[in-house]
Structure 1
């Protein structure tokens, strides 16, 4: 894996010139826990090597979990 780059127009997270994760919204990409931008940090911690299938699967599960978290936060916000 090389340089991590997010393309908002296509909702893609590029891990090199040809490979990317698709369907990552800007809100999911920018989601933070404390000082960490979760989606970016996961990939940056693995820079310089090939991602395993398990790591790829885990990355997509984290993206889904963040998406669901954002939906729940919006619903809670609607109540208050």
Structure 2
């Protein structure tokens, strides 16, 4: 997994936290599907943020 997805959301590591909370347990098919949905949602969010940043050249304001 690419680093931006693993350490996304203002320092809150969504993917890492989700996996850590389930450490030592066998993931069900439903768990794996849910994790996949999280990863896809984060990837799409990153893409949208990049499009917004490109459309608004003065963003983020520094």
Question: Which category of TM-score, normalised to the shorter sequence, fits these structures?
Answer: 0.7 to 0.9
| TM-score, normalisation: structure 2 | 0.80
Instruction: Point out where structure 2 has 5 or more consecutive residues left out of the alignment.
Output: 57-62
Q: Which has the larger radius of gyration?
A: 2
CA RMSD of aligned residues (A): 1.3
Structure 1 residue ranges without an equivalent (≥5):
1-23
Task: Name the counterpart of 2:4.
Answer: 27
Task: Find runs of 4+ consecutive structure 1 residues off by over 6 angstroms.
Answer: none
Which one has the bigger strand percentage? 1
Q: 1:30 to 1:57 in 2, by over 3 A?
A: same
